[in-house]
Amino acid sequence: MFRKISSVFILCLFLLSIPAYSADLTVGRIVDKANKVAYYEGNDGMAEVNMEITDSQGRKRIRELTILRRDVQDGGEQKFYVYFYKPEDVRDMVYMVWKHLGKDDDRWLYLPALDLVRRIASSDKRSSFVGSHFVYEDVSGRGIDEDTHELTGEENGCYKIKNVPKNKDNVEFSYYYIWIRKDNFMPVKAEYYDSQGKKYRVIEALKVENIQGYPTITEMKASDLNTGGSTVITYNKIQYDINLDDNIFTERFLRRPPLKWIKRK
Amino acid sequence: MRKIILFLIVGILFSSPCSKAVILGKDLPAIHGFWEADYGYRIGRDTTKRDDYNLLEQRLQLKSRYYPKSFLADWNSEFFFRGDWTVDEYFSGKTDFDVREMNFSFTPNDFMDVKLGRQILTWGTGDYLFINDMFPKDYVSFFAGRDDEYLKQPSDAVKFSFYPKIASIDFVVISRFEPNTHAEGDRLSFFDSFQQGIAGTNSDRDLLEPPHQMSNSEYALRIYRNLGRNEAALYYFHGFDKSPRSYKNELARQLYYERVDIYGASIRGPFFSGIGNAEAGYVNSRDDHNGSNRLIENSMFKALVGYSKDLGNDLRVGFQYYYEQKLDYDNYRNNLLPTDYFWDQYRHLVTNRITKLFKNQTVMLSLFTFYSPSDRDGYFRPSISYDVTDHLKAILGANVPWGNDEITEFGQMKKNKNVYMRVRYSF
């Protein structure tokens, strides 16, 4: 269970996107802009997250959580506070992440029944995010320096970019394509291929809405083509620039959630 | 059987989405919790027991919170309740009601929190090992195979937390002494020096708790802050040993909880692409300052170091080394009588935790191992759990303490080996 929660991360990263200029750009600029659009917008934000995990036999499991996010520096470090409502056996647990660049993140888990603040070692970013078909990196972002990027064409108003990992040892894919919208640099689809060149995994934006002036992905889906399982994430009650206090992301608020933001039921 | 059915009905009632509103009305607080059945079958040979089970119970846990209005709302105040109703078939269907938490928290200003009432308290960096966490624990639950949450017992306390810039401070006042729950011979057998061996129901020793007096209040202090990416803490505890390790009156078979002061420190942070931690504590046995009283526990030094790592593919491992030393050992040894049982000066303990998840993290395989080369004993805690649905979880596990001697921490538990199964429905 700890591990289940431990891979939780930052879904609201996909939430925002800033309109950008369409011009002749190098692939490096496109990837860099898309990374910023997908993972660094606003100073902070919150969302209620609902995940529906469907396994290969069609059985469904639900995850429900609230995420608070605060950027320490735009394009740099970020802090996340994740409060669980479902499933019931993890209700009221809190997961906190201080995301760093170029080194492992700091992660904590608070278990209320034991009043225990546990520090979590998490170096595998390709493991499942709360038992879903999203992996940690899908939602927290994959370092753009970890792949080589090649612009292979344009489709439906998107740049199509092929990404090959520089180090194949710690990833399960051999390469992946990503589609980035030309008008606002929002990444809207990714397809992963194995070493035989077979497509086995797809992530796609299902719904985009305008929230506080930001086009925002409010529904997205990850599909495992090998097993037939999939996960749909829906974001509700999204708010940006809510002036979250930096103190919220400390042990004090792990043990005693900020009631202003976390409506415990 | 009727009780089981009743529990089931109540559990199902509370679990259906519309039931809360129907039963309680719309504005009343939501209720959550679980129903659980626990069965533990003893596999160790123990002639002191007639029953083969040592865990045989059902429980219903309910929790709820309420946010008061008026000025208390400005203080972010919250009432919280969590309690267990149990039917213990092991004790012939005895019913019990155990308030796990019942407290009121509030934030009178930005730099202070207060939590008043019955609460679970935990701090320190060890994994199943405690040096500076002197809050009560239930080792009967631990060895019988109940859920981990039952290792921690509630304290009736007030916790004041202060948050000045330089460091955070927790100060806990415990007015009513609450000892650890240890094996007493009925459910679990243990080493009883009065019985000169492992005792079951024949144990008749008397454990004397300190009387409820103002001067017997316990105080626990923690001062902590981040140092870079590390979390550092200092601890102080003033109170009583939580285990009855000292003799009051040998003829009357009376044991008691000697006074202790504990001074400690810990640090935890990233270490070789995992998490490292270290903690130490000096225990001053105040009733026996120079250690010359053979009946009272010696002053001690305790330390542990730990390391845990994520190996990828939902596989995690953790290791700990724990060290314990009696500080006035010569005085203790010199005053022993020839017939006394005596304890070693040093204790070394290593632990390992290994956890692996399968099937979209719905299946968890876990093994926790204690091994003490100095005591020549150990304890295996394997388990496998399966989340059948989002609500229903089944766990199969075992408790396998072993040891060469009957007197050591795990060796004395060796007759309590069991295999257990738990089924929990959460709502």
State ipTM.
Answer: 0.90
Q: How far is the C-alpha of A219 from the C-alpha of A208, rounded, in Å?
A: 7
- Residue B74 — φ and ψ, nearest 5°? -65, -20
Confidence at residue B167, expressed as pLDDT on a 0 to 100 scale: 96
Backbone angles phi, psi at B253, to 5 degrees: 55, 40
Which residue of B357, B388, B425, B427 is the best one to mutate when testing the A interface, meaning the one whose CB has the most A CBs within 10 A? B357
pLDDT value of position B26: 58
CB contact under 8 A, A126 and B312: yes
**Alpha-carbon distances of B207 from A136, A171, B153, B174, B420, rounded to whole Å:** 52, 58, 18, 20, 29
Buried b (16+ CB within 10 A) or exposed e, B229-246: ebbbbbbbbbbbbbbbbb
Average pLDDT of the residues in B290-302: 93
How distant is the alpha carbon of residue B222 from its chain centre?
19
Chain B residues whose CB is inside 8 A of the A106 CB are 229, 270
Residue A261, in any domain of the structure: no
Query: For a pLDDT cut of 90, what percent of chain A falls above it?
Result: 60
Whether residues B273 and A104 touch (CB distance < 8 A) is answered with yes
Nearest to B77 by CA among B109, B118, B100: B109
Q: Are the beta carbons of A132 and B360 separated by less than 8 Å?
A: yes
A152 found inside a domain? yes
Which pTM does this prediction carry?
A: 0.89
- B191 pLDDT above the threshold of 70: yes
CA distances from B101 to A115, B65, B148, B153, B427 (A): 11, 11, 16, 9, 18
Tokens of A193: 């291929």
* B19 phi, psi to nearest 5 deg: -65, -35
> B365 by DSSP, 3-state: which?
strand
- Asked if the model's pLDDT at residue A55 lies above 50, the reply is yes
Is A263 an interface residue toward B (CB < 8 Å)?
no
pLDDT digits (tens, 9 = 90+) for B70-124: 888 888 899 999 999 999 988 888 999 999 999 999 999 999 999 999 999 999 9
Of the candidates B32, B148, B269, which has its C-beta nearest A88's C-beta? Answer: B32
Residue A260 forms part of a structural domain: no
Distance from CA of B32 to the nearest CA of A (A): 8
Please check whether residue A263 lies inside any domain of the structure: no
By C-alpha distance, the chain B residue nearest A170 is B312
The pair of three-digit structure tokens given for residue A125, joined into one six-digit string: 């970013």
Burial category of B268 from C-beta neighbours within 10 Å (exposed 0-12, middle 13-18, buried 19 and up): buried
CA separation for the pair B410, B416 (Å, rounded) = 10
Query: Is A104 near chain B, with CB under 8 Å?
Result: yes
**Does B112 touch chain A if contact means CB atoms closer than 8 Å?**
no
Find tokens 């719904």 and name the residue. A207
Per-residue pLDDT tens over the stretch B223-267: 999 999 999 999 999 999 999 999 998 888 999 999 999 999 999
Per the structure, the complete domain to which residue A34 belongs is given by 2-255
On whether the CB atoms of residues A229 and A131 are closer than 8 A, the answer is no
pLDDT at B60 over 90: yes
The closest CB to that of A115, out of B121, B163, B270, belongs to B121
CA B11 to chain centre: 27
pLDDT at residue B13 is higher than 60 = no
Mean pLDDT check: name the lowest of A206-210, A260-264, B389-393.
A260-264
Q: Is the pLDDT of residue A11 over 60?
A: no
The beta-strand segments (E) located in chain A are 44-54, 60-71, 78-86, 94-99, 106-111, 116-120, 147-155, 158-165, 175-181, 187-193, 199-211, 214-224, 230-240
Residue B53 sits at the vertex; the CA angle it makes with B49 and B59, to the nearest 5 degrees, is: 130
pLDDT band at A16; cut points 50, 70, 90 = very low
Residues with Cβ within 8 Å of B373's Cβ and at least 6 positions away in sequence, in order, are: B348, B350
Q: Which of A26-30, B206-210, B389-393, B423-427 has the lowest mean pLDDT?
A: A26-30
Residue identified by tokens 């070693």 is: B344
Position A265 confidence tier, pLDDT thresholds 50, 70, 90: low
Q: Is B31 a residue whose pLDDT tops 70?
A: yes
Class of domain B2-426: mainly beta
User: Is residue A168 included in any domain, yes or no?
Assistant: yes
What was the pLDDT predicted at B18?
A: 44
Domain contains A265: no
**pLDDT per position as a tens digit, A138-197:** 877 788 888 999 999 999 999 999 999 998 888 899 999 999 999 888 999 999 999 999
Sequence ranges of the domains in chain B: 2-426
Give the pLDDT of residue B137: 97
Tell me how crowded residue A112 is: count the other CB atoms within 10 A of its CB: 20
Interchain proximity A114–B313, CB inside 8 Å: no
In SS3 terms, B368-412 reads as: EEEEECCCCEEEEEEEEEEECCCCEEEEEEEEEEEECCCCCCCHH
Residue B211: pLDDT over 70: yes
Q: What is the chain B residue with the closest CA to A6? A: B314
What mean pLDDT is reported for chain B?
91
Q: Measure B76 CA to nearest chain A CA, in Å.
A: 7
**Rounded CA separation B253/B247 (Å):** 8
List CB contacts (< 8 A) between A119 and chain B.
231, 268-269, 275, 277
Rounded to an integer, what is the distance from CA A225 to the centroid of its chain? 20
Q: How many structural domains does chain A have?
A: 1
Q: Does any domain span residue A55? A: yes
pLDDT at residue B25 in the model: 52
A264 domain-assigned: no
- We report the CATH number of the domain holding residue A60 as 2.50.20.10
- Region B304-332: mean pLDDT is 95
* Helices and strands per DSSP (H, E), number in chain A: 4, 13
A-B C-beta contacts closer than 8 Å: 122
Q: Least CA distance to B121: which residue of chain A?
A: A115
Asked whether the beta carbons of residue B390 and residue A4 sit closer than 8 angstroms, the reply is no
Task: Name the residue facing B163 among A114, A126, A252 (closest C-beta).
Answer: A252
> What six digits make up the tokens of A9?
């991360």
Q: Do B311 and A115 touch (CB under 8 A)?
A: no
Report chain A residues whose CB lies below 8 A from the CB of B357: 3-4
The span from the CA of A134 to the CA of A141, in Å, is 12
Identify the pLDDT of residue B16.
47
pLDDT per residue as tens digits for the range A85-132: 999 999 999 999 998 877 888 999 999 999 999 999 877 788 888 899
Q: Do A114 and B360 touch (CB under 8 A)?
A: no
